[in-house]
Amino acid sequence: MLLRIFVDVCLPILALVGLGWGLDRIFGLDLKTLVKLNLYLFVPAFILVRLSTSDLSGTVGLKVVAFTLCVILAMGAASWIACALRRQPPGQRYAMKLSTMIYNCGNWGIPLMTLAFSELGPVVQVFVLATMNLTGFSLGVFLANAGSSERKGLFLPILKQASPYAILVALLLRASGNPLENVVFIWVPLNYLADGLVGIALITLGVQLSQTKPPPPVGNLGIALAIRLVGGPLAAVALTWIFGFRGEIAAILILGAAAPTAVNTALLAHEFKADSRFAAAAVLYSTLLGAVVVALLLAALRAGWVPWAVG
């Protein structure tokens, strides 16, 4: 299982990151332009297309949304406690919160769930993805901006982000039967952009890693990795019991909470001139370690170590 997850999920991700790193070494790519293309074009298109064509109704879906928000808050609390005990300055506190609270439930979570739980996994993950996208481009922007040396106000940067508006438009389209699908000259380009997000985001991460040497995974970075990859699923175990999730859906939510730090956090940190070196390193190391963690966690779930979450 470990080898299969690494080959099918982690290795393609690392290959694209390595491609971006290599291209930057050869050509010296413009990171600022790549980041803006991600944040203001590819990510909003991905959100609009995926959400407008997904079923977001139902009581279970709302419970999954609430569950995901609680996991995010739990990671924020754990990061706050860790930074308070170590007496870290505000900038490092915001960097750790950004790297632990916003996790990669899209281009990591969707393939993982398709592999591990082929029928129910991707359906549940859509609700997690919607919640994380909205949180990432609201709370995530707030944290990146608050930890910046060039703070641009508290809420104005959030209002300038395209992704929250894309979520709103997607929900409106879904409620009205998605008439935009019939407007071919708009819908087809949106699909092209949505399909290109994973590749361009990972290549951009590779360029960013090429231009910002990641620190070793010790100290604050090591703590952030432990909170994200170990604290996430531990919090999810408790929350699935509290929310009443049982069986395969509980296993899906626990496994999803072990996802690595989202690529978007590194993009936001660079955009707002926060600690992008820390954020990029968190994405890199958590992605490398994530394959091992999810393989062990999936084996534990299938062995029945969590009695109410056997899938």
Is the pTM above the cut of 0.85?
no
pLDDT of residue 68: 95
pLDDT of residue 103: 92
Task: Kindly report the CATH number assigned to the domain that includes residue 201.
Answer: 1.20.1530.20
Q: Residues in the chain with pLDDT < 70?
A: 1-2, 55-58, 107, 147-158, 311
Report yes or no on 307 lying in a domain.
Answer: no
pLDDT of residue 35: 84
Report yes or no on 49 lying in a domain.
Answer: yes
Report yes or no on 275 lying in a domain.
Answer: yes
Report yes or no on 293 lying in a domain.
Answer: yes
Kindly give the interhelix angle for 139-146 and 90-101, rounded to the nearest 10 degrees: 160
Report yes or no on 189 lying in a domain.
Answer: yes
What is the number of domains present in the chain?
A: 1
pLDDT digits 0-9 by tens, 37-73: 988 898 888 888 888 887 655 578 889 999 999 999 9
Report yes or no on 162 lying in a domain.
Answer: yes
**How much is the mean pLDDT over the chain?**
85
Report yes or no on 97 lying in a domain.
Answer: yes
pLDDT of residue 7: 80
Report yes or no on 253 lying in a domain.
Answer: yes
pLDDT of residue 6: 74
pLDDT of residue 2: 67
Range of the domain at 46: 2-302
